[in-house]
Amino acid sequence: MFQPLQRLEAWLEASTPLPPGLTQLRLTLRILWWTAQEATRGPLTLHAMGLAYTTLLSLVPLLAVSFSVLKAFGVHNQIEPLLLRLLEPLGDKSAEITAQIVGFVENIKVGVLGALGVALLFYTVVALMQKIERGFNATWRVRAERPLSQRFAYYLSVILIGPVLVFTATALSAALLHTNLVREMAAIGPLGELLGLITRLTPYVMIVAAFTFIYLFVPNTRVRLPSALFGGLIAGLLWETVGWLFASLVSTSGNYTAVYSAFASLVLFMVWISVAWMILLIGATLAYAHQNREALILATPDQEPDMAARERLALALMQHIARRFEAGEPPPTRASLARTLNLPQEWLDDPLEKLTARGLLRATADEAGGWVPGRPPTHISAADVLAALRESQGGAARIALPPELEQALNEADIQHAHYLHAYHFAKEPPAREAEHASPR
């Protein structure tokens, strides 16, 4: 890494006090720098490519379901203008691709498909929604998915009600701008200029609002509104900027038609879908970084902690959570634990999950999502913590060893067993002499 970048990263990681303005600037730059690191590592790009492929397979069924719902409300004709808006960066090809997609949707006859065909249609749409949720959960370091019943209700509400709300909001905004009162106000000089500015900004506001809504409700975790709005705002700006650059590239270069011939439209469409998903995931990463900005660790190593490091981490987590519980302090959250231990949050997921499965920890039911001991700390020993991690690593498989090595290993285990069982997280550690005492 170049020396200036090293100095910048050291300044971003520093905890020295600064004036309020510079403190906010450092936090914002830390968010942007960490997001840039995440975008260049690879997983974000892989998720974007996977979502682009799934979108190609599911776009027509998704629009067919939305078309059927919108047709009942008489606003199904609004699908084509929306597609034109989304595919605007493709330039002249946007109208051609939009016409083909709308043609595919209109040719789907539900009566001809039959029960199995309709079921497959909905399955394709639900699979797309599930893939989207998994992509956002990976961005937010969330390992647990929604329950099946909750997932089904959530997906159907988004698929069936979402398009109606979107087109209703678009129609209402368009209707308000064409009322007699607005026209009379537009005739007044300053008010007319203000209304013209509002009209020009409305598409951008709608995009930011749509992105913010996605970042709030798609991940299976609690996302705060300011963080979702931060990600939605930057993602909206990226959408417009990258869309303009992509449209300029398409309009000024005709080589792609000569190279790809009849496949040129499909290639451009695939590239733009990948770019669009990348922008959405970058916005989600920004929202995650904003919500956890105090706990961000820059230049996180790519390797996972080894078994010894996981055991030490589990002991440190249990100790910190038990001490806070005994002191009557609020339960620590995942972000605060990562900040205290100065470690990436994703490193905490595996020990927390295994300690919870063993009953040593319990997640609180409040929105903060803290952690408390699963049973009294006087009944939790260091041996229990280590057993929780070791038992899930490979079962009880017994590997034969030479007799002399087996005896040495057993003696080493006996030497430490008494001390580990005697060490509880609610009192001072036992005397070291007890380590050599014979176990009870």
CA distance 391 to 354: 9
pLDDT at 353: 87
Q: What are the tens digits of pLDDT across the range 340-378?
A: 887 777 788 888 888 888 888 988 876 567 889 988 888
Max CA distance (Å), the chain: 98
CA distance 359 to 353: 10
Mean pLDDT score of the chain, rounded to an integer? 75
What is the average pLDDT across 384-393? 76
Pick from 425, 68, 141, 131: which is nearest to 291 by CA? 141
pTM of the model: 0.72
Q: Is residue 439's pLDDT more than 50?
A: no
- The per-residue DSSP string of 162-207 comes to HHHHHHHHHHHHHHHHTSHHHHHHHTSHHHHHHHHHHHHHHHHHHH
- Whose tokens are 């609610």? That residue is 426
What is the average pLDDT across 186-194? 65
Higher pLDDT, 381 or 427: 381
In order of 346, 416, 440, the CA distances from 410 in angstroms are: 35, 10, 16
CA distance 29 to 95: 40
Q: What are the tens digits of pLDDT across the range 120-158?
A: 777 777 788 888 888 888 888 887 777 777 777 777 777
pLDDT at 73: 61
pLDDT at 122: 73
Torsion angle defined by CA atoms of residues 140, 145, 146 and 147, in that order, rounded to the nearest 10 degrees:
-170
What is the average pLDDT across 47-52? 88
CATH hierarchy code of domain 309-436: 1.10.10.10
pLDDT at 345: 76
Pick from 251, 233, 260: which is nearest to 89 by CA? 251
CB-neighbour burial class of residue 288 (10 A; exposed 0-12, middle 13-18, buried 19+)? buried
Task: Tell me the two tokens of residue 430.
Answer: 């036992």
Question: Which residues 6+ apart lie within 8 Å of 219 measured at CB?
Answer: 133, 136, 137, 139, 140, 142, 284
Q: Indicate the pLDDT class of residue 233, thresholds 50, 70 and 90.
A: very high
Task: Tell me the two tokens of residue 19.
Answer: 């004036």
The distance from CA 344 to its chain's CA centroid, rounded to whole angstroms, is 15
Q: Where are the domains of the chain?
A: 16-295, 309-436
Higher pLDDT, 229 or 100: 229
Q: Radius of gyration over alpha carbons of the chain, in Å?
A: 28
Q: Indicate the pLDDT class of residue 396, thresholds 50, 70 and 90.
A: very low
CA distance 317 to 361: 10
- Residue 30 is classified by DSSP as H
Q: Indicate the pLDDT class of residue 180, thresholds 50, 70 and 90.
A: low
CA distance 244 to 223: 30
Least confident of 194-198, 290-294, 402-406: 194-198
State what percent of residues in the chain have pLDDT above 90: 6
In order of 137, 142, 339, 360, 406, the CA distances from 219 in angstroms are: 5, 8, 22, 27, 49
Least confident of 176-180, 216-220, 320-324: 176-180
